[in-house]
A and B are shown apart, each in its own frame.
Chain A
Amino acid sequence: MATPVIEEQTSRITEEELAKQARRKELLSRWFWRILGYVVFLGLWEFASGRVLEENLLPGPIRVFQTFGDLWADGTVLPAFGATLTRLFIGFGLSFLVGTIVGVISQNRWWDGFFKDATIISLTAPGLIWVLITAVIFGNRVYGPLIAIILTTFGLVTINVYEGVRSLPKDLIDMGKAFHVSKLGIQRNVVLPHLAPFLFTGLRFGFSIAWKVTVLTEIFASSSGIGFQMRIAQTLFKQDEVLTWILWFFFFALFLEKVVLQAFERRYFRWRQAVEAA
């Protein structure tokens, strides 16, 4: 009787082994192709530099990463980041406020009609036009970039808040009214908690536009920040520095979006699960 059991066991183990092996093999092949992708694209870039295009026009990855380190050692990177971040937070903060207010008062059909076109324009117009308009009007003063950021991004916040408003739990509001909860109380205890996820979506999408507009405004109307450094590098025809600043800008945004906002989101979702569990 013992032999069949053992046989069964060994066969199961081998099956598990096989599955594991297959998985390992797949993972291995995935990583192989992934690394191959990096090698091929970086190789093409390095190859093209100096052969297909002049090295001054297209510096290879090696030179760009050297400049990367040089600029960091220079000490120009952190102040530039600081300036951009400050502008971004003030501008997008205001934009978020404006967008939320517009979205919330759009509960009223009249105000909805009033702000409809403003929102559509904010959504469809390229940020560039606000940047140029505010730059020509305000010059290098601080208001221009802030107004440009607000005008480009408030629509995204508004549209999300508006969607939240549209799906408000009407029964809860009615109940609140029936129990004579004040208008402010309803906003605070029913409307806001319901709107929170929509606000977060607005924050995420709005933010991904906002940092691009911020850098764009710095190119035209500022004397500090990442955009300003980019413009200087471009004017001086230092392509390696242009590429390096673009990379800095890229990693900076990736960091903000993937690390900071996601940490924020995770915290937010923890709260939500706790509420659901309760």
Chain B
Amino acid sequence: MTVTSDKIPAPRTQQSGGIMKVLKSPTFARLLFPVAVIAFWYAGVGVIKAIWPFAVDVLPLPQEVVGAMWNEIIDPFVDGNQAPTRDNLYITFAISLFRLISGFLIAMVLGTIIGLGMGLSKAVDAFFHDWVMAILAMPALGWALFISLVFGFGNLGPILAVILTGIPFVIVNVREGVRNTPRELFDMARAFGVKRNRTTRHVLVPAMMPFFFAAIRYAFSIGWKGLVITEVFGGQDGAGWTLKFYYDAHRAHGVVGYAAFFIIFALLLERFVFERWSQRVFKWRPQAGGVETVEQAFDVAGTSGAMASATFVTGADVEDFEDENN
């Protein structure tokens, strides 16, 4: 399921001939998929229009969708307005990215403070626990509806949405990270009279690193989803708003085309930022062995996307399993 599995050499099929070999290779199947989707698309539109004309309102054809996407892409480079949207694609995504990053940074800082407190003190843990769980379980939609009415169309609402959707993941992961630090090392440090800030630097921080990265990743992905929904309900610019703009204008090809940009954006972020980064950061870690628990399997597969979209999953318990098994 991951990109890395591409590196597994294709199995030796029968040496019957070049063409059969190519046709049977998984890579060919992978390339065939978009072709099949487009073929299915044309066929579906044709069939529905022929036998069941009122079943749908509008059916955009692939070329219309690609046309809408192309207009968005070239909009800033040619004279005149190619796309019907107010801001071009790049500005729109930059606006959203700015909101995402500012909200994410605030969530990281606040979440780390609260998470550290919860991990170190039982009283603080008891104080925050139920509320953190409640916010964790709260769907982004709830925040979006509430925030859009309260804060209107500025930057504040979307940023707040990113904070609120992302922060529970940071808190839970940091707390688990603190709890997961080796107690013996702390005791030893105390026995040898190591100063508190040196203990923090050399024991607490390294032990917490994996949890911290999990926190960053989940907070970022979940924050993005929360941001987009909030922009749909309470925004006047940004990626979510633009998608809603096409929806309101009843331009189906625009909706599909812009949605494709969302997918491309998420895939780029996933593949070129997080995957590279986690590979570099965790190079020192031994490769996880066989699949033993369901939870571990779920993580070892590199199903970051899965984890990111499962709001009830806390990266923390997955890491727990991983550490036990390493």
Interface residues of A (CB under 8 A from B): 26, 29-34, 36-38, 40-41, 53, 57-58, 109-121, 123-130, 132-133, 135-139, 141, 143, 155-156, 159-160, 162-164, 166-167, 197-198, 200-201, 204-205, 208-209, 212, 215-216, 219-220, 230, 234, 237, 239, 242-243, 246, 249-250, 253-254, 257
Contacts and interface: CB of A to CB of B under 8 A. Distances in A.
Contacts of B256: 133
B126 A30 contact: yes
Interface of B: 1, 10-11, 24-30, 32-34, 36, 55-60, 122-131, 134, 137-142, 145-146, 148-150, 224-225, 228-229, 232-233, 240, 243-244, 246-247, 250-252, 255-256, 259, 262-263, 266-267, 270, 290-291, 294-295, 297-298, 301, 303, 305-306, 308-313
Question: Is chain A's binding surface mostly helix, strand, loop or mixed?
Answer: helix
Nearest to A123: B305
Looking at A123, A138, A166, A219, the one whose CB has the most chain B CB atoms below 10 A away is: A123
- Classify the secondary structure of B's interface with A: helix
A163 B301 contact: yes
Nearest to A106: B1
Nearest to B48: A137
Nearest to A200: B294
Contact of B298 (A112, A201, A208): A201
B266 A124 contact: yes
Contacts of B145: 230, 234, 242, 246
Contacts of B243: 128-129, 132
Contact of B312 (A113, A125, A250, A257): A257
B250 A136 contact: yes
Contact of A34 (B1, B59, B127, B146): B127
Contact of A249 (B127, B142, B232, B309): B142
Nearest to B253: A136
B305 A135 contact: no
A135 B251 CA distance: 11
A34 B33 contact: no
B147 to A, nearest CB: 11
